[in-house]
A and B are shown apart, each in its own frame.
Chain A
Amino acid sequence: MTPGTTVLRLGRVLSLPVGRRFLIVAPLLLLALLASCWLALAAGYSGTRAADIWQAVTLPREAMEDPARMIAGFRMPRIVAAVLAGSMMAASGYLLQVVSRNGLADPGLLGLSDGASVAVLLGGALAGSAVIAPPVLAALALAGSLGAALLVVGLGRRMLTGGGIILVGLATSIFLGSIVEIILVTGSAMNFSALMQWSRGTLAAVDAADARLLGLWWLLLVPLALGLGRSMSPLLLGDAEARALGVPTRASVAAYIILAAAFAAPVVATCGPVAFIGLMASYVARSLVGDRPTEVLLAAMLSGGLILLWADTAGRTLFGPVQVSAGIMISVVGVLVFVLAARAGRLAR
């Protein structure tokens, strides 16, 4: 047995080696997340009693009093969405870090956000003066994000291993970003004000339908990620080593990239591009639980949920009546974490 691990057994059915640090850290992160959700439910413009939160969580909408209805209608979907979106961006970021064997990788590197923006803007141009309903905008963003990921995988199919795919992702991101700029420059500023708001990464417009959309994707993708998790350790060793261990590296890398895009796409569609979570959450998770990929993935998802929840709660409550978007709050902290991560990486080399 590897030092620092414990084997969880369930008769002859299950025999699972788990890091001891993970066994301590994961429940603590989960507790912190639950406590944070409660605090976020209590924080807002109007005063909140514990009884209001209890009502909002336990009663049907029609049986609630006004304060509880306010919590259930506005705070709860936002909190659920923050936790889900944060965990999905973290998963996306960590999968990309495994693929590129680079601790600084993040969904933004695949051009997902720019792909979504291009799709939304082109949809607006095709619609002319007609108004595009928000759910259609979300679907466009989703298609754009996934389209960008497929473009990157297609263009970089000869460089899927060895980290070259990240360079292709960066180039695609720059190209799509230029298209966004061209469209914005030729358009009216007022027409794109909603897009500009969205492009900062915000949960302000998230409602229950958005939270449900994120929940569905989360339920679909998390089992897939955990199922594919077995090949993550060999991939981290390098291409030759992974192939020697029987892992089909090209197919695995392509699958991880598409999975990373699928994790990020619904988040970009509902909240806009939220940068740095993938980087920050993975960095925090590795510091807390070590290097076992599946454990890092789970810890990163819990950390990502916590990070986005706190960023959004702080942004909507600390500076009232000004509402600071979660994307901006995270970017401020994210830059510091980015520098720390880069520095730690250099020291490790």
Chain B
Amino acid sequence: MKPYLTALVAMLAALPAAAQEALRTITDHAGYEVSYPAEPQRIVSLHDWTVTVMAYELGANLVGSTGRMSGDGSYFVRSGRELYGLTFDDIALASVHGQLDMERIASLHPDLIIGNLGDTLEYRDQLATIAPTIIFDPMNGRTAMENYRDFAGWVNRQETFDALLARYRARIDALRPEIAGAGGHPSYVAMLPNPENGSIRLFRTYGAQSQVLEDLGFRPLPVVGEVPEGRQDANFSPEIIGQMNADWIFTTHISDRGEDEAAMLAALEQIAPGATGFLDAVAAGRFHSSDRFHVYPMTFRAMDYFLDELAGLVQARN
């Protein structure tokens, strides 16, 4: 009898430990300690072009996402549609971006909710009553790759992340001499002309785009240091154009709005007349605009897309 009792006691003692093993506890980017299933089965993302695309790329168990309304009234996953062909036939619409419907989210029976700090923090208390809720902050001052690595750990996909990272690094190593040049560390600035308020937005980081550039050895112009520490971007007067004479100038546009590189150049000329004549990068054909939905998300597919663009540009110049 005694051995059976001992075994029973040992089993009972082991139960809580087993239950604990099934849980993961992390501190999210908003500083909350969150406990949730180690292998979440029903993840709902509340931010499409950061959280959703990362979760999808890593093969996490994504069941729903917020989406945006297109011109024809249908809903789409920003960047998920462009990079992966992801639609709301594949996953459920959890809410419209920025307009969270708690009942709709709860109806998806999530075991983990992941939101973006800027949009989700004020709803966190409500969301936490539905399921454990993690806040992701893509603009916390760390590199996009570090944040993506955090995210992969949260959704238990470190191995997938490491494999994708190794493949990406091999590609960077292969393309660096061709794109950045033999000796070099070309200078660059990532910016966005904003004709609506007559300002120029400079980016310290811009998702996949700036990650690829830095990995290739591009160096940001000193003027980028004007962006406050810990911030992704800041708006400046067009007078700053005098400090923007980099080897390369990168910007982004939204194709859905009919924008393209020529439109972005025209916008720059509108807020800073004469800029296109003054900037060497424009004359040298090194002013480049990418589709924003393709190059902002911090995923390996987005980085591949931008690498392809750069390689194409360099080949065309040669």
Q: Number of B residues contacting the other chain (C-beta, 8 Å)?
A: 37
Determine if A123 is an interface residue (Cβ-Cβ < 8 Å): no
Inter-subunit contact B122/A205 (CB<8 Å): yes
- Contact indicator per residue, chain B 210-246, by CB within 8 Å of chain A (1) or not (0): 0000000000000000000011111100000000000
Contact of A185 among B75, B121, B140, B235 (CB under 8 A): B235
Tell me which of B31, B104, B121, B232 contacts A45 (CB under 8 A): B104
A150 CB to closest chain B CB (Å) equals 27
A46 within 8 A of B: yes
- Known contacts A131-B30, A190-B232: A321-B126 contact under CB 8 Å: no
The segment from A192-200, A251-259, A300-308 that touches chain B is: A192-200
Q: Does the CB pair B125–A209 fall under 8 Å?
A: yes
Q: A129-B230, A316-B101, A323-B100 are in contact. List 19 more A-B contacts (CB 8 A).
A: A45-B101, A45-B104, A70-B106, A73-B126, A73-B129, A134-B125, A185-B199, A185-B235, A188-B234, A190-B139, A193-B119, A198-B122, A205-B123, A209-B125, A321-B75, A321-B96, A321-B101, A322-B69, A323-B96
| Contacting pair B98 A188 (CB below 8 A) | no
Contacts A131-B30, A131-B31, A197-B98: A74 and B121 contacting too (C-beta < 8 A)? no
Q: Are A193 and B104 in contact (CB under 8 A)?
A: no
B232 with A188: CB separation less than 8 A: yes
A194 touches B104 (CB 8 A): no
Q: Is A287 an interface residue (CB 8 A)?
A: no
Using known A-B contacts A44-B103, A45-B107, A322-B96, determine if residue A194 contacts B234 with beta carbons closer than 8 Å.
Answer: no
Q: Is there a chain A Cβ closer than 8 Å to B117's Cβ?
A: yes
On whether the beta carbons of B233 and A74 are closer than 8 Å, the reply is no
A2 adjacent to chain B (CB < 8 Å): no
- 4 nearest A-B pairs in the assembled complex, by CB-CB distance: A323-B99, A45-B103, A129-B230, A193-B118
- Shortest C-beta distance, A47 to chain B (Å), equals 10
The answer for the CA separation of A255 and B31 in the assembled complex, in Å, is: 42
Chain B 108-129 residues near chain A, CB threshold 8 A: 117-119, 121-126, 129
> Which residues between 290 and 320 of chain A lie within 8 Å of chain B, taking CB atoms?
316, 320
| Complex contacts, B100 vs chain A, CB 8 Å | 204, 323
Q: Point out which of B30, B100, B106, B107 has the most chain A C-beta atoms below 10 A from its C-beta.
A: B106
* Chain A residues whose C-beta falls within 8 Å of the C-beta of B123 in the assembled complex: 204-205
Residues of A within 8 A of B103 (CB): 44-46, 70, 74-75
A-B contact pairs, 8 of them (CB 8 A): A45-B101, A129-B141, A193-B98, A193-B118, A194-B121, A194-B122, A204-B99, A207-B125
CB of B315 within 8 Å of the partner chain: no
Q: Is the CB of A128 within 8 A of B30?
A: no
- B83 CB, min distance to chain A CBs, angstroms: 20
| Residues on the A chain within 8 Å of B122, using CB | 134, 137, 194, 197-198, 205
| Contact yes or no, B106 A188, CB < 8 A | no
Query: When the two chains form their complex, are residues B101 and A323 in contact, meaning their CB atoms are under 8 A apart?
Result: yes
Contacts of B118 in A (CB 8 A): 190-191, 193-194
Identity of the chain A residue whose Cβ is nearest the Cβ of B124 in the assembled complex: A134
B181 CB, nearest partner CB in chain A, Å: 33
Chain B residue at minimal CB-CB distance from A75: B103
**Contact residues of A between 61 and 99, Cβ < 8 Å to B:** 70, 73-75
Query: A323: which B residues are within 8 A, CB to CB?
Result: 95-96, 99-101
A52 smallest CB distance to B (angstroms): 12
Bound-state CA distance A186–B104 (Å) is: 36
Q: Do A185 and B98 touch (CB < 8 A)?
A: no
Q: How far is the CB of A178 from chain B (nearest CB, A)?
A: 14
Given the interface contacts A73-B129, A134-B125, A204-B100, does A191 sit within 8 Å of B95 by beta carbon?
no
Q: Which of B139-179 contact A (CB under 8 A)?
A: 139-141
Do residues B98 and A74 form an inter-chain contact, with CB atoms below 8 A?
no
Partner of A131, one of B95, B121, B125: B121
Q: How far is the CA of A345 from the CA of B256 in the complex (A)?
A: 48
A187, A188, A209, A316 interface centre (most CB from chain B within 10 Å) = A188
For residue A214, give the distance in angstroms from its CB to the closest CB of chain B: 16
Q: Cβ of B93 < 8 Å from any Cβ of A?
A: yes
CA distance A274 to B233 in the complex (A): 31
Cα(A178)–Cα(B213), bound, Å: 38
Nearest residue in A to B125 (C-beta to C-beta)?
A: A207
**Which one, A185, A187, A194, A316, contacts B119 given CB within 8 A?**
A194
B197 contacts A by Cβ under 8 Å: yes
> In the complex the two chains form, is B95's CB within 8 Å of A321's CB?
yes
State A194–B137 Cα separation when bound (angstroms): 13
- A207 to chain B: which residues have CB within 8 Å? 125-126
Closest chain-A Cβ to B118's Cβ sits at a distance in Å of 5
Instruction: Pick the residue among A74, A128, A186, A197 that contacts B102 (CB under 8 A).
Output: A74
Q: Is the CB of B101 within 8 A of A185?
A: no
CA distance A188 to B234 in the complex (A): 6
Q: Cα distance A49–B118 when bound, in Å?
A: 36
Q: How far is the CA of A186 from the CA of B99 in the complex (A)?
A: 25
For residue A190, which residues in chain B have a CB less than 8 angstroms away from its CB? 118, 139, 232
Chain B residues with Cβ below 8 Å from A44 are 103
CB distance from A53 to the nearest CB of B (A): 14
B residues near A197, Cβ cutoff 8 Å: 98, 119, 122
Report how far A190 CA is from B49 CA in the complex, Å.
13
Q: Given contacts A131-B31, A322-B69, are A188 and B233 in contact (CB under 8 A)?
A: yes
A337 to B217, CA, bound (A): 61
Which residues of A are found within 8 Å of B102, using beta-carbon distances? Answer: 73-74
Please report the C-alpha to C-alpha distance between residue A316 and residue B104 in the assembled complex, in whole angstroms. 11
Contact A134 B121 (CB under 8 A): yes
Query: Which residue on B lies nearest to A204, using beta carbons?
Result: B100
Query: Which residues of A in the span 166-207 have a Cβ within 8 Å of any Cβ on B?
Result: 185-188, 190-191, 193-194, 197-198, 204-205, 207
